[in-house]
Amino acid sequence: MPYPDRFYPVVDSVAWVARLALLGVGTIQLRAKELNDADALQIVRDALEVIKGTPARLVVNDYWRAAIAAGAKHLHLGQEDLAEADLKAIRNAGLTLGVSTHDDEELETALRVKPDYVALGPIFPTTLKSMRFAPQGIPKITEWKKRIGNIPLVAIGGIKLEHAAEIFKAGADSIAVVSDVTQNADPDARVRAWLQYQPEAA
């Protein structure tokens, strides 16, 4: 099974992780903000517990200490967290590592740590958080993919299922999805549609 899966939802609670895992989602990122160390450890442990017996793989966003302590297998870091993280401890714990990038400098920083995947965003305008970076646009996906070669490229930021064909055609290996699931009127149906989506052969 490729990692990360083509459909890669990002959610902020254990309830969402459980819901997605039961629907058959293969890669789920838990991105809960502003937690102290104890709460971070608890939420990671709880999330790992709810995916037991499912095919889901949990990716912990930012809380690398909690990921190591809880025995998680997958980690995602933004640039600020990457700068402060103990990369040796992360690798020694056997964690895979995905890294967010928004510009050329951040891509260089990411590639230096030999990531398991690189995320590029935001592809489109996003309402979820105020972004310091302008939308990248689809052509940037093709450029980034040429530069990173065999490393999987995850596109993120304002992407809906209706965009999937052009995103994959541009070179993305995976699409990270937030609001298209969590703010959808029928999230379960939307998840099933994503899971059933088959990119056209290039």
| pLDDT tens for each residue of the chain, 202 residues long | 689 999 999 999 999 999 999 999 999 999 999 999 999 999 999 999 999 999 999 999 999 999 999 999 999 999 999 999 999 999 999 999 999 999 999 999 999 999 999 999 999 987 655 667 789 999 999 999 999 999 999 999 999 999 999 999 999 999 999 999 999 999 999 999 999 998 875 4
Report helix, strand or coil for 26. coil
CATH code, 7-196:
3.20.20.70
In angstroms, the CA 188 to CA 142 distance is: 31
pTM over 0.75: yes
CA-wise closest residue to 98 among 114, 85, 80, 121 = 114
**Cross-strand partners of 198:** none
Residue spans per domain, the chain: 7-196
Residues 6+ positions from 177 with CB-CB distance below 8 Å: 7, 8, 9, 10, 156, 159, 160, 194
